[in-house]
Copies of this chain bind each other. A is one copy, B any other.
Amino acid sequence: MGYVLHNFFRSSTSFRVRATLNLKGLDYAYLPYALRKGEQRDSRHLALNPQGLVPTLETPQGPLAQSLAIIEWLEETNPEPPLLPSDPWARARVRSLAQAVALDIHPINNLRVLRYLSEVLGADEEAVAVWFRHWVSETFAPLEQRLSQEPETGQFCHGESPSLADICLAGQVLSNRRFSVSIADYPTIQRIFDACMALPAFEAAAPNNQPDAE
């Protein structure tokens, strides 16, 4: 048995796992869930992942939830090509950059949170878009500063090959498009994003190239 990815084309956490599987040359079956219809909470998926969130990766050892845990596990079990450097301090930098996106932007701007804003707190469409853009810029501004100033930055976030940080960053930039977030103010992020999307592994993971794309 191989890998089965339970996911959604537009989910940036799903993108991260797709890009990782692609970079490592691992085949997987694609199972889409229409998040707006709540399909991720059907009993079949809840049996694999009681949180009822995508992505969930079915593996030969069992189901695994949480995109960053999935990626670290894939990295440990399929080390080539590496998505983390070997030096601990360099690994820490990559994880720190990745987590700025994965913890300080994505969870706050996730679909279930945006829905709560409109359905429970009565926020209108514009207020939801302002919220989304606020949390992107709160992190993208300092991230641009770090990436443009720190000597470890190369063609990618860390040196000359894509890492966990690029995977998280590219997923966020793709997600930003739904709310027309301009990244003109972030030239280093733009440059790194372009380098990522020039790689077939990233391009094949993009939302528009998935079977459930609208």
| Chain A residues near B (Cβ < 8 Å) | 50-53, 61-62, 64-66, 68-70, 72-73, 76-77, 88-89, 91-93, 95-96, 98-100, 102-104, 106-108, 112-113, 116-117, 120-121, 123, 127, 130-131, 134, 138-139, 142-143, 145-146
Contacts and interface: CB of A to CB of B under 8 A. Distances in A.
Mostly, the A contact residues are helix
A145 B50 contact: yes
A200 to B, nearest CB: 27
B103 A89 contact: no
Given A108-B107, A108-B108, A72 B50 contact: no
A66 B121 contact: no
Contact of A64 (B92, B100, B116): B92
A41 to B, nearest CB: 11
B103 A68 contact: yes
A68 B168 CA distance: 15
Given A69-B96, A73-B89, A77-B88, 18 more contacts: A50-B143, A50-B146, A51-B100, A51-B142, A51-B143, A66-B96, A68-B95, A68-B103, A69-B92, A69-B98, A73-B88, A73-B91, A73-B95, A76-B88, A103-B103, A107-B107, A108-B113, A120-B131
